[in-house]
Amino acid sequence: MKIGICLFGILIMFGSDVARANYFPSGLNSTFDFSMETPFDEYVKATRKMVEKARVDLNDTNRDRVVQANTPFELIPKQRPIQNGILLIHGLSDSPYQMKDLATHFLSKGFLVRTILLPGHGTVPGDMLEVTWEAWAKATEYGVHGFSGLVDNLYLGGFSTGGELAIYMCLKGYDIKGLFLFAPVTKIKTKTAWFSTTFAAPDWLLKQDEKDFARYDSLASNAVAQVYQLTVEVDRLIETKKNLVVPVFIALSDDDITVSSEHTMALFHTLFSSDENKMVVYCSNPAKYQPDPSGKVIFKDSRIPDDRIVSFSHLSIIVSPDDPHYGKKGDYVYSPHPWLKQNSNGISKDQIFYGELTGSLKKKHYMQRLAYNPYFNEMTGLIDQFLANIRN
C-alpha cells in the first residue's frame, strides 16, 4: 500500500482550508486489516474511531450524525432462536447509511442484520486513490465469516458495487441461502470504464465540494478502476462456474445511467438457475417489454405523474420515501442545474422533475435526481414473498 499523507500534515500545509484534505489519502482507510476472528463489536468500535479520526468535516453540531452514518452497525432481533442472518453491503462512494431502510425491514422479519464499511469509504474521498477491490472482497469475507455459528441461514444483500461483491462471494463457494441484489454493478454502463485502469487516467474523474455526509460527491479514477477489475474477476469466475443455484431477488431501474441493467437482466436468465428467482424492473417505457410468462420478472412503470417522477435513478432503489435525508421530504439535492442548488432564477418546485439524469430528460425537464424508491414498501413486500417461497 502507498504511504498515505497524514491529515495533520495536510492541515498544516493548507491552514484552515480543511476541504482540500478530502482529496488526499488519510493513511487510515485504504486497506482491510482486521482478522477474520475479530468480534463484530470490536470491528464496529475500531471503525467508528477510524472514521472520527479521518473525517475533516466534523464539528460539535454534525459529529454524531456523520460518524454514525459512516460506521458499520448491527441490528439484533428480539426473537429467539435467531435462524436467519443477512450481511448488507453498500455501493461505491456510499456508506452503511444507505442500507438502513433495508436493514430495518429485515430486522422486522427476525433477521440478525449486519453492515460493513468497505475500505476507502466513509472517511475522505482521497482514500479511494489507494484502495483495491481485493480489500473490498476481504471486508466482505470478514462480514460473511462473522455469521458462522450465529445463524442457520445466511443471506447477502448488496447495492451497486455491493451487489457484485455478493455475487463474488457466491461464486467463491460460500454457503449462502439467498441473494438480494439492488442495481448491482455486473457491468459498468460507460464503455470507457477500462480507461480508468490506464496510466493516462487522471486522479479524479469528478472533483467536487463534499456536501453529502453519507456518500462522496467526488470520484477518483481508481475507484472506477477497482469496480471494473472486480467485474472482470466476477466474469472470469462465471466462466468457470457457469450457473448459481442460490435463489436471487433483483431490483433495478431500466433507466440506470451508472450500471448496465441490460447485462444484469441477461445474467438473471443465464447465471441464476433457481425456480424461485424474482426480479422487479422499474422502467419508464414498460411497453417495450413483453410480459414474462414464467412470472419471475415484474415490469413496473416508474412514471408517477402526480409527483413529477419520470424515471427511477440508480440511487433510488433501496431508499424509503420516509428517509430523512434522501426521502421525499429529505434535505438531499442532486441536480445538474445550478439554479436548483442555489434556489434562484424564480424556478418553482412544480417545475422540477425527478428521475435518472439521462441526457434526454435533462433536455426536456428541469431535473433533480430521484434519491428514493416511491414503491419501497411494495418492493419489500415482494422480498417477503420471495423469502416465503425459498423457505418452503
Domain limits, the chain: 7-241
Q: State the pTM of this model.
A: 0.92
What is the model's pLDDT at position 148?
Answer: 95
Residue 335: the pLDDT is 63
* H-type alpha helices, the chain: 7-14, 40-54, 63-69, 100-108, 133-145, 161-171, 221-241, 261-270, 338-342, 359-364, 376-391
Q: What is the pLDDT of residues 294-331, one digit of tens each?
A: 889 999 999 999 999 999 999 999 999 999 999 999 98
For the domain made up of 7-241, the CATH class stated in words is: alpha beta
Confidence of residue 235 (pLDDT cuts 50, 70, 90): very high
Beta strands 248-253 and 178-182 are: parallel
Letter for the amino acid at 227? V
Report pLDDT digits (tens) over 322-347.
999 999 999 887 765 554 544 445 57
Of the listed ranges 109-123, 258-272, 352-366, the one predicted with least confidence: 352-366
CB burial of 233-250 (b: ≥16 within 10 Å; e: otherwise) equals bbeeebeeeeebebbbbb
Give the pLDDT confidence score for residue 17 in this predicted structure: 63
The alpha carbon of residue 32 and the mean position of all alpha carbons in its chain are separated, in whole angstroms, by 18
